[in-house]
Amino acid sequence: MDTDPPLQLRVFDLNCWAIRYLSKLRQERIGLIGDTLSQEGFDLALLQEVWSERDYCELKQKLTAPYPYSHYFKSGVIGSGLCVFSRYPILDTFLYQYSLNGYPYMLQHGDWFCGKAVGLLVIKICGIMCHVYVTHLHAEYCRDKDAYLPHRVVQAWELAQFIQHTSKGADVVLLGGDLNMHPGDVGIRLLRDWTGLRDSFADTERFEGCEDGCTLVPANCFTVKEELQPFPLGIRIDYILYKGLSHFVVKCDSLVTTTGTAPGKSIPYSDHEAVTATLCVKRREEAKASSGSAVEPGLVDVVNEARTEVRVGLHAAEHQRYSNGRMAILALLLLLLQAAMGLSSLVGWDSPQPFPKFSFSLLSLLATVVLLLSMVLYVFHTIEVRMLQGTEEQMRLALQALQDKLSSM
C-alpha cells in the first residue's frame, strides 16, 4: 500500500456572479465557464452565485460527458447559489444553512434572501474518501464600518464546527468558496486554526496569477473600482483549503488564478477571479497520530478575538430589539388612544369640533403599520440575539476546554 502512486486532484473554484437580469453578460459568461470546464477536464468544479437553476441546468447539460456527477444546493428565497461538478461519483450530500445571514430589510444587499450555506459532498476518488465542502459567506460591504462582521464571524464558527463534526470519517477534507474575508481577518484565522485546514495559496510550491493571490482585482472590468481604492492590488477572498487525515497527506503542487480576463478571451468569467489548485494526495507510511490533545496557544487568542466580535454584535442586536420594542409600544398606545376617542364619540361625548375623519383614519392606518413592522422586527432581532448568545456560549465553553488542555500540558 505504501507504494501506491500519489493521486492528483485538479480543483476549480469560482464565484460566478450570475444574478438573473442584474449581472452583466451573464449568459455569455455562463457559456464561457461551461466551455472552459469542458475543455480543461478538472476533477472538481466548485461554483458559487449560480442563482438561477436554469443556468445550472444549462451547465449540467453541457458538462454531462466530462462531469457525469453534479449537485445543486437549494436554500433560502432565491437559492444558495452553490453547485458542484465532479468526475467521480457523489455518494452523499448535505446542506447546512447559517443561522445568521444579514437583515431582510437591507434590500440593497440581499444576502438574507440568498440563504447562505455550506454544502457537503462525500466523494470516493480512487478508494480515497473525500469530504468536499463548498460555501459562500456574507459579503463585506464596508470594511471601515462593517455591520455584518459579527454575522460573518458566526458563519465562520459554524462552518468550522460543521467541518470538524462531519469530517471524522474522511481521508481528505477540501473546502472551496467565496469566504468574503481577507487572509488576516479573524474569521479566516478562526476557521483555519480550529479545523487545521491549510491555505493552498500560502502552501503552494508554484503560483501563477494575480499578485498576492488576489481574486477581486481592479483589472477586472466588472469590479467596482471605488470599493477597491484602499487596495490597489485587489483583495483575496476566494479560497481553496484542504487537509489530509489519518493515512493521507495532501500538498498543493500549483495554484493558478485568472488575471482580469478569461484566458484567450476579452471578458472575464466573473467579477471574481477563478482559482485552480492542483493537489497531490499521498498515503502515509504510518497513520497520523491523533492531534486531539494538542492545542496551539494562538488558538485561544483567536477564539477570544472572535468571541469579542460576537459580543459587539450581541450588544448591537439588543439595542435594535429594544428600539423596535419601544416603537411597537408607542404605536400600540397611539392606537389605544384613538380607540378611546372613537368610543367617546359613540356614547355622545363628541366635542364641538370633532377630529377630522380622514386624518383620524390615516393616523390609525399609520399606527397599525408601524406596530406590525415593529413587532416583526422585534421578533427578528430577538432571534438574532438568541443566536449570538448561543454562539458566544459555545465559544466560552470551547475556550474553557482549550485552557484546561493547555494547563494540563
How far are the Cα atoms of 67, 226, 241, 304 from residue 230, in angstroms, in the given order?
Answer: 40, 9, 26, 28
Grid cell locating 307: 468571541
C-alpha 107, offset from chain centre: 18
Say if residue 356 is exposed, middle or buried (CB neighbours under 10 Å; 0-12, 13-18, 19+).
exposed
For residue 224, the tally of other CB atoms under 10 A from its CB is 10
Q: Which of helix, strand or coil describes residue 251?
A: strand
Check 136, 272, 315, 319 and give the catalytic one: 272
Task: State the cell numbers at 32.
Answer: 464561457
Strand ordering across the sheet containing 7-18: 69-72, 83-86, 44-50, 7-18, 275-283, 248-257, 207-208
Integer Cα distance of 370 and 291 in angstroms = 55
- Which single residue is written with the C-alpha cell 485552557? 403
Judge whether 272 counts as a catalytic residue. yes
**CA atoms of 396 and 304, how far apart (whole Å):** 8
* Region at 348 (left for phi over 0; alpha for psi -120 to 50; beta for the rest): left
Distances (CA, A) of 330 to 169, 286, 341, 360, 369: 55, 69, 17, 17, 12
Report which secondary-structure segment, H or E, holds 245: none
Nearest to 281 by CA among 321, 243, 314: 243
Q: Please state, in angstroms and rounded to a whole number, the distance separating the CA atoms of residues 155 and 80.
A: 14
Distance CA 180, CA 236 (A): 8
- Decide if 146 contacts 187 (C-beta within 8 A): no
Specify whether the CB–CB gap between 53 and 79 falls below 8 A: yes
Q: Are 86 and 67 in contact (CB under 8 A)?
A: yes
Cα dihedral 227/231/232/233 (nearest 10): -110
Helix or strand run (H / E) with residue 177: strand 172-178
Give me the active site residues, please.
272
